[in-house]
Structure formats: C-alpha cells, structure tokens
Amino acid sequence: MLVFALIAVFPPTRRVAHGAWKALREALALTRSAEARRAQVARYAARYDISVQMAEDIYDAADAEGLDPELGFRLVRVESEFNEHAVSPVGALGLTQLMPATAAGLRPGITREEIFHRETNLRLGFRYMGELLRHYDGNVPEALHAYNRGIGTVTRIRAAGGDPANGYAAKVLGARGASPVGGKGSRREVVETAPLHEMAPAALPAGF
C-alpha cells in the first residue's frame, strides 16, 4: 500500500516542483531584463548628459514602438538636442521635431499642446520613423533621408538619378557606440541641409 501511495503522491509533487521552478526561472529572467534595462538607461543618460528620467522615457518609448533605442536616442539628439520645448523655424515641435500635420496623421485630433507632451512626442516620432523603416525595407539611412527631407523629395531625387543624402543620416548614425555629435551642449557639426522637415510630408502617401 505504501508503494502505491508513493506512486500516487510523487507525480503531482514533481509537477508542482516543475511549475515552481519554471516560475522561478521566469522571475529571474524578468529581474535580469530589468537590471539590463536600468544599466542601459544609465549609460545613455551618462553619454548624452541627460536625466535618468529622460533617458528612461526615450528608451521605453523606442521599445514600445519597436525601434532600436540606440537609433531613438541618436534621432532625438540631432533633432532637438533633448529639448522637449524645441520649435523649428518651420513649426516642427518637441523632442522628435514632429510637424503638427504629421502628428495629426498619426493621431487624429491631437493638439499642439499634446504634441509637446514628452511621451506622446516620442511615441509618435518613433512610430513615424518605424513606418519609414518598413517603407524602405529596413534601410536606415534611406528612412532617415525621408524623415528629414520627406518621402516625396527622396523619391523625386532617386527618380532623377540623384542621391538624397545631405549629411543628416550620417550625422544621426555617426560612429556606433558614441554620440554622433558629442555630448549635450557641445559644438554642433554643420550639415548643409534645409531646416528639418521643411519638405517633410504632412502625412504618409496614400497606400503607405
């Protein structure tokens, strides 16, 4: 009877133990992931001389929109130098320098004030960049050309046999693992280009 009792008891015990071990492994994986995120955020904050909170917001927005955080930080650095109140001469707003019409295409009904909201600006700017990356099949430089100059302009230049590169993509990408234009407040490199988004489309083309 004891043998039968042990046989009856051990299978569910092993199942419980296996379930507990699986839960423990998942918890440890989440802990390691959280620790890795904190370490990465701290490195970005130090690299660009920004607050940890700002770095967290940029990192999390990029992650939420499926954009490489490295690209997200570089984009914000060149677009606004991490100034969430930045306004360009042509009306581009906030950290990612969104044109109001572009923002409205991504979120109908959005107000100017809402575009300046940090999380909103980051999410929409990174979402737009993600759509451009998909449009150009993951070609980062080409997507950056379009972010800066507009899809229509890039298309026309390519159709005429030209090169849409104007220094903007190179400035954003820079050297891997380092700030492309130095730390915050450093002397900015000169790029021969029209003001950011001067020719950017108000919305993505039909069928985008």
- Known catalytic residues are 79
Instruction: Give the CA angle between residues 190, 96, 53 to the nearest 5°.
Output: 110
Instruction: Give the CA angle between residues 34, 36, 40 to the nearest 5°.
Output: 115
Helix or strand holding residue 23 (H, E): helix 2-48
- Give 84's DSSP letter: T
Helix or strand holding residue 130 (H, E): helix 118-135
Helix or strand holding residue 60 (H, E): helix 52-64
